[in-house]
Amino acid sequence: MPTVIARSHSKLWPALGLYGLVALVALWLIGPFLWLFISSISEQRDLLARPMPLIPPNPSFANYAKIFGLVEFHAQHQSAQILPSLGNSVVVTLIVTALNIVLGSGAGYAYARCQHPVMKITLYAILFTRMLPVVVLMPALFLIMRQLGLQNTLSGLVLAYCSFTFPFTIWILKSYFETIPRELEESALVDGCSRLQAFVKVILPISGPGLVAAGAFTFVLCWNEFLVAQVLNSKQGTTTLPPTVAGMLGQANIDYSVIAASGFLSAIPAVILALVFQRYMVQGLTAGSVKG
């Protein structure tokens, strides 16, 4: 273990070696991401120049201004899709996250506390769905959503995302609620609370970390989802950011630097959220997946 090596010898070289390794890991993790940002504030002709300048000689946020429609450029009608898609992404992601926290926490709580055979069977069923590849369901879902009239609507997307995120949320929250002693609710019930009150007033207030973890995961997953949005919401103006950004790639007249800007823009909310809540996410995840 590097730990042991670094400590037991406590010499200069191992420590340097360790920092070398750390630097390498940092470069691997962050370097490409930084380059995406650098590309997005560069001009295309600087990216094409040989030798290529590694620090943009003319950094500007012009590419962002372009995709926000603040300046005119030749492909503005194409990039004009970015903002509405951003709006759709925000709406869908927030609603799904809220539904997951509200409905998922209720279900997670019930599964944590009630072990009726029916509950066990349905829990297995829910866990089983997580083994299914979404893509296998897409043709059937496509037809079903068409019948329901939910294609090209945000509600359809919300419904689809809920079904794919509920199992995960339920799992995380169930594990979390299991760590809360039953005595808390039992005494609340004795004090005359209804079961719902016991859950809402006693359990939920102390479940912040679990809810944050579940919410953050749901947010990241929905924000980044591509396939379902691409297939179900193909109509212009109804889709989310990932398909829209992907759609800019094949447009022969749009510079890579502009695409890089939209790619970076689309990545930023989830990345920031993950960085802010990373401690909870790791806890929630490991609580859900490791037992003992």
Partner 1 sequence: MTTLDPGRPDLTLQPEASASGPVRTRWFAGKNRQAVQSEGWFAAALVSPALLVILLIVFLPLVYSIWLSFAEVDLLRPGGTAITIFGMRLPLYRFTGLANYSKVLSDPLYWQALLRTVYFVALFVIEAVVIGLAMALVLNAHFAGRRLMRAMLLVPWSMSRIAVGILWLGMLDADFGAINGILYRLGLIDHYLSFFSDGFTALNVLIVVYVWNQAPFATILFLAGLQSIPQDLYHAASVDGAGFWRKLWHITLPSLRPMMFLVLVLATVNGFLMLDLIYVMTSGGPGNDTTTVTWLGYRTAFSFFKFGPGTAILFTLTLICVALTVIYHRLVLSKFQSE
Partner 2 sequence: METLSRTGSINRRQLMAGAGAASVATLSGAGRFGAAQAAAPINFVGWTFRPDMVQGYVDFYNKSYGEKVSYSTLPWPQYHQTLEQRAFAGDIVDVMYCFHTFRERWAQTGMIRTLDDLPGVDELKKAMMPANLESLLNREGKLIALPYFVNLYILMHNEPMLQQGGFDKPAASFDELIEQCVKLKKDKIAEYPYLPNWNPTITGTTPQFLTDCFAEGATVFDAKNRLVIDQDPAVAQVLERWKKVYALGLVTPEIFTKPSSTDVHRMMFTGRYAYHSNISNYLQTIASDTKESLLAPKKAKMTPYPGKVGSTYMWTDSYVLNANTTSLESAWKLMQFVGGNLHKNWYVQQQWAIGSGLDNVYPDLYKEPAVVASYANWVDLPTLRAQYDKGKVSGAFKEQWYPEYDARSVTILHDMIRKNLSVAETIKALVALHKSLA
Residues within the interface to partner 2 (CB under 8 A): 44, 73-75, 77-78, 81, 142, 146, 151-152, 231-232, 234-236, 247-255
What is the number of helices (H) and of strands (E) in the chain?
17, 0
CB of 85 to partner 2, least distance (A): 13
What DSSP letter does each residue of 80-134 carry, written as one string?
Answer: TTHHHHHHHHHHHHHHHHHHIIIIIHHHHHHHHH---HHHHHHHHHHHHHTTS-H
Q: Which stretch binds partner 1 (CB under 8 A): 63-71, 77-85, 187-195, 202-210?
A: 187-195
With contact defined as beta carbons under 8 Å apart, do 166 and 107 qualify? yes
How many CB atoms within 10 Å of residue 14? Answer: 15
> Quick one: 45 exposed, middle or buried, by C-beta within 10 A (0-12, 13-18, 19+)?
exposed
Q: Which does 252 bind (CB under 5 to 8 A by kind): partner 2, partner 1, none?
A: partner 2
Question: Binding residue for partner 1 (CB under 8 A) from 76, 236, 251, 286?
Answer: 286
Question: Binding residue for partner 1 (CB under 8 A) from 63, 81, 166, 211?
Answer: 166
Q: Which stretch binds partner 1 (CB under 8 A): 61-69, 76-84, 186-194, 200-208?
A: 186-194
Place of tokens 């898609």: 85
Using CB under 8 A as the binding criterion, the count of chain residues that bind partner 1 stands at 126
CB of 48 to partner 1, least distance (A): 5
CB of 214 to partner 1, least distance (A): 11
3-state secondary structure at position 70: coil
95 binds partner 1 (CB under 8 A): no
Q: Which does 184 bind (CB under 5 to 8 A by kind): partner 1, partner 2, none?
A: none
- 35-94: which residues touch partner 1 (CB under 8 A)? 35-36, 39, 44, 47-48, 50-52, 54
With contact defined as beta carbons under 8 Å apart, do 173 and 109 qualify? yes
Amino acid at 172: I
- 3-22: which residues touch partner 1 (CB under 8 A)? 3-8, 18-19, 21-22
How many CB atoms within 10 Å of residue 44? Answer: 15
